[in-house]
Chains A and B, each alone.
Chain A
């Protein structure tokens, strides 16, 4: 199953590449390997392929609507719905009413489950940093960066279900088929690095998010803008590896022939930009093989860095690896990286219906050190100045348990928390508030579309002007809604 990968550093038969080529070249006459010897220009960039610069038009870098600091986004998606009252939204009243049935009017929860009994958070909240931002004991490492986080405690969405919730958080609408946030950013800003996709998604080893590819689709936009699944282990991209029974030399020999024939075909057809673009895409694919493989090769990182991301701990290794790769991706110019924590269904995700305490202890632990490690590393490398971080899930959870002595919490879409941090964000604060118990956003409530408007704004885009004309409408990520959350801006 494990296919070989084509890398320049991996010469056939253990010899250096130059030795090999010399030997083969000398071994039998007429073997035209000249092109291979100039292999760093293997695809002959100068020749024909991208003569008119046409190919990357869709993804060419574009200027934002206004100057801004943020160039990249890393979105930590806590799949399943993390509980705000156990993480970022302390509710002393829950301690007071712990165990009593909820008699209020707010109707949340899913699938007609009983609304249940108020349940205090078992996690201790403490004030952190100079700002005194309150964060629960689920996130001890992250708490070190409290002064960088802007927690929005008053978000709400339109749905109680995972599928439509994920899809709304990612595309702005509960109905499938619309372009995702990453697609809008790719469309609006293009990519900066040529050798990698501009919009990368890394899912959890336990499975993808509910809704599948609808979560990173480009919808009605061209496929160039859709999210690309990137694996943190093995071959990072689909079909990146050379087929199993093909040697590196053969791979190059064949590619070489292909491009030579395609370039001959292009003669007398120089004006056909689509043909030139296609030649260019093979060149890009070739470079992608090398670049993408290098990006996931985190063994090159220092032991200290690996430790910082939690790579040496069984529970944090996976998310840590993804966080580290996220840094390496944005270093290469990738615009939007989305990392999923939790996959599949139920306890495999943040969907703590049965035991929210156990659930969040686990998933919180898995993500805490890796995220803190990433923040520290971004600050160390200076990427912090140009990277926007988003943390959150498709909704929050109820302040109630689903029964007495059953520490599970149900879905709550009327009030929940997310945070922003990094470039352009005013950290060390909490914006808005839910009610006394944490059911409903009551102070400065913000809809998902407001969050989207804010993210676009931080990336230098006006959400009312970033439009795509389709089927008679100037479509927007925020539909007819959306207002920038001014308080979140630095």
Chain B
């Protein structure tokens, strides 16, 4: 032993002396481990010196092992000295007796140069040391504890209705700026209605409210609207964006997810009940692991199963990790504003999240399983712990009893065949008695041919005592069924046995497992790891994760949520990248305000309704939209919040507002989705145009858009063209585009024209043939204001001209003036639905 070591040492040093100058030069520009070095090691070294196989005792996939070396006892890698590192010397072929790799081509000079540069720089296995996100990312603002900043003093204290205004005004005053004057009462009335319930005020509400117009009256209105069911329908939809909600799986069959709409209803109900946000988090991530789990919390768990799903994956192992990636990614973006998915193949390039952190998160979810029957997904029963246990016991007992019956029958069948009492031909008997797998081709044929006859004969010959026994067992099954109540069903992933071990996957590939990843929270964000305690069949890992997220100490959760709410109210978040609070994300325009809001939100019991009230009772929220040239020049993005800016309504709010104005809105809540009509031409893009779209009747299709069927391979064109969110990944904000197909949809599309017709009839019924009254009502219904005299004149002129032109044009036909008047009014309604003001409220 001693000798061998000594010999090798001598060899090694002498070789080093001999050949250094023959080595390729190190790459000059520095190297990136995961981009440039790790691929070489993985492709050329790990097969023999990796996690699974360690020839000569050498392992190169971890720094410690590489430094220690293999059986030779010599370090394979000497940080800072590539020329002396055995790894370099062998791949460079300095010693003809030990050239690596043993198979395939030799490494190129360029590759060796990269390895040398990496070793010379310290052989860091994560990132180059100076740019390591781990090293400096921990200082990032959003990872620091929440603060409770003092409310700043301002000069114009009269403008301050609540502390939000003080934070905003302090920044404006520092620049010598003034906040915009308040929006007019009609504009504000519509803004508050649309913002909270996604619908305009009715003309009656409009009229009554303006009588008592005052800041306090608006405060009362906010309280009242928050208690309407429309609030959950509006704000629930915002949450559905964040959780990639859709009702089908995508891909070839694009099957509808069974019972998934119950998750949508759960979200709407939770908003309407003002469920504390911390509880909302626990239910969605770990509704099955809660002590007080219920049917509702199981349905909430649908969160984990909403993503796309390929029922025919190319690679089952890889697919498993794609599914877990969907959950890890959505969870981290939705609740934490962290782009955890970036650390799947390598450490996060910017944030202090390592690949190990990522797979630690994967391990938290790895117990989850999908209930399916082949390619068909099945839902699962939902209930509290006792109900589910009872259901489980009941079905276990039924299985046991059924097995008993089967055994009685089977034993008798074999006995009958053996005894020759079946009367079947001998070779058939032999075939039927032969083990299923051992049958010859001929026997297979015979077995198929005689099976039904055998069953009939067995049934005929069944002795009375067996008949009675089977009847007894069947009666018991019926009794168990009766005493086990049928539970409601939901769509979620379940855990039933301890999760399998997760490995860090090199380059994110399931086929390249590296070291084991223990279930863990991201290292940089915690001081200690939680303990995981088993909950029934469940590992308890998700509950630990959910508790950490929902903990008031978590620096991200409340900040991310209040920012999302702010964004919906004011159009843009204080942090503009609502799903990315990391280093590449936007920095808050008003960090103190964000922290103050987040702290206040937690103090007030994580209540969303209180948060809405706080924001909407501020003067900041109530500012007008008029620009000031100087401010616009200096701050076109309105980051200082010197006004409220224009923003287009979302597709849902546009469609719902039309239904409200036309009087067609069906307020039926909850339940399976409705399927609105879509143009036949759109279906031509689908492989199964005749099968997929079972249009609801008009009444059903006139429900709010949040109840519309979202199918991943056939998105409703009207919603898609109006910038519906991405339905495959968490969406923090919707883009707003102005493209010609939107104009075609709203001006020529069946839906808009149909609603224009309904609205015209509604108006006619209400105010009769007087054009002046018609125009007035159309404006109040659609725009929540009366027309200006100029607009009024223009619209009345249009009605008259259009009627006259229509009559003139169609005089050959039998058409009376009333019909022409109605048609003109339809046109007017159609125009109003297309006005900029309709989709961009003042």
Contact = CB atoms under 8 A, between A and B. Distances in A.
A99 B197 CA distance: 69
User: For B582, B742, B804, B836, which residue has the most chain A Cβ atoms within 10 angstroms?
Assistant: B836
B743 A284 contact: yes
B797 A213 contact: no
A177 B809 contact: no
Nearest to B252: A163
B831 A261 contact: yes
Contacts of B729: 177, 220, 471
A229 B685 contact: yes
Contact of A239 (B629, B648, B679, B801): B679
B579 interface: yes
Nearest to B253: A163
A216 to B, nearest CB: 8
A257 interface: yes
A180 B312 CA distance: 21
B312 A237 contact: no
Interface stretch (B121-129, B161-169, B614-622, B710-718): B710-718
Interface string B716-753: 01001101001111100001111111111101111001
Nearest to B339: A472
Interface stretch (B85-93, B343-351, B464-472, B659-667): B343-351
B741 A238 contact: yes
Contacts of B835: 258, 261-262, 265
Nearest to B310: A164
Contacts of A382: none
Interface in A6-35: 12-13, 24, 27-28, 30-32
B726 A176 contact: no
B251 A31 contact: no
A81 interface: no
A161 interface: yes
Contacts of B831: 254, 257-258, 261
Interface stretch (A268-276, A361-369, A451-459): A268-276
- Which of A250, A255, A277 has the most chain B CB within a 10 Å cutoff? A250
Contacts of A246: 753, 827
Interface centre among B626, B687, B823, B839 (most CB of A within 10 A): B687
A219 B582 CA distance: 22
B715 A159 contact: no
A439 B627 CA distance: 66
B312 A222 contact: no
Interface string A279-310: 11110110011000000000000000000000
Contacts of A274: 646-648, 736, 738, 840
Interface stretch (A138-146, A200-208, A401-409, A418-426): A200-208
A208 B580 contact: no
A228 interface: yes
Given A161-B314, A212-B685, A471 B739 contact: no
A242 B748 CA distance: 6
Contact of A224 (B739, B748, B790): B739
A197 B737 CA distance: 14
A268 B646 CA distance: 13
A223 B723 contact: yes
Nearest to B342: A472
Contacts of A238: 679, 681-682, 717, 741, 744-745, 749
B345 A480 contact: yes
B635 interface: no
Contact of B809 (A13, A214, A228): A13
Q: How large is the interface on B (under 10, 10 to 19, 20 to 34, 35 or more residues)?
A: 35 or more
A235 interface: yes
Chain A, interface residues (CB within 8 Å), range: 35 or more
Contacts of B632: 271
B739 A472 contact: no
Nearest to B312: A161
Interface in B125-150: none
B35 to A, nearest CB: 9
Interface in B799-824: 800-802, 804-806, 808-809, 823
A243 B840 contact: no
Interface in A127-181: 158-164, 167, 174-177
Given A472-B350, A472-B584, A281 B739 contact: yes
A253 B806 CA distance: 11
Interface in B742-767: 742-745, 747-750, 753
A266 interface: yes
A417 B168 CA distance: 62
A250 B308 contact: no
B687 A210 contact: yes
A249 B805 contact: yes
A209 B801 contact: no
Contacts of B630: none
A27 B801 CA distance: 11
Contacts of A280: 738
Given A12-B809, A208-B689, A213-B685, A282 B747 contact: yes
B637 interface: no
Contacts of B339: 471-473
A92 interface: no
A234 B717 CA distance: 18
Contacts of A345: 687-688
A336 B632 CA distance: 38
B523 interface: no
A462 B452 CA distance: 67
Contacts of B687: 207-212, 343-345
A213 B713 contact: yes
B830 A254 contact: yes
Contact of B741 (A27, A231, A237, A473): A237
Nearest to A245: B823
A268 B739 CA distance: 23
B78 to A, nearest CB: 30
Nearest to B788: A264
Given A162-B252, A177-B729, A274-B646, A253 B827 contact: yes
A98 interface: no
A341 B255 CA distance: 25
Contact of A253 (B689, B735, B743, B805): B805
A253 B795 CA distance: 12
Contact of B312 (A163, A197, A212): A163
A82 interface: no
Contacts of A243: 748, 750, 753
B580 A472 contact: yes
B315 interface: yes
Given A223-B720, A235-B681, A275-B646, A164 B251 contact: yes
B273 interface: no
A255 B714 contact: no
B257 to A, nearest CB: 14
B341 interface: yes
Interface string B578-593: 0110101100000000
A219 B689 CA distance: 22
Interface centre among B798, B800, B823, by most A CB within 10 Å?
Answer: B798
Nearest to A272: B646
A278 interface: yes
Interface string B622-656: 00001101001000000000000011100000000
11 contacts: A162-B252, A216-B685, A219-B728, A223-B721, A238-B681, A257-B798, A278-B648, A284-B739, A285-B747, A471-B339, A473-B341
CB-based closest 3 A-B pairs:
A472-B339, A177-B728, A212-B713
Interface of A: 12-13, 24, 27-28, 30-32, 55, 58, 111, 158-164, 167, 174-177, 197, 201, 203, 205, 207-214, 216, 219-220, 222-224, 226, 228-229, 231, 234-235, 237-243, 245-247, 249-250, 253-255, 257-258, 260-262, 264-266, 268-269, 271-272, 274-275, 277-282, 284-285, 288-289, 343-345, 413, 469, 471-473, 480
Given A243-B750, A281-B738, 9 more contacts: A30-B801, A174-B313, A176-B712, A197-B741, A212-B712, A219-B728, A224-B739, A237-B741, A261-B794
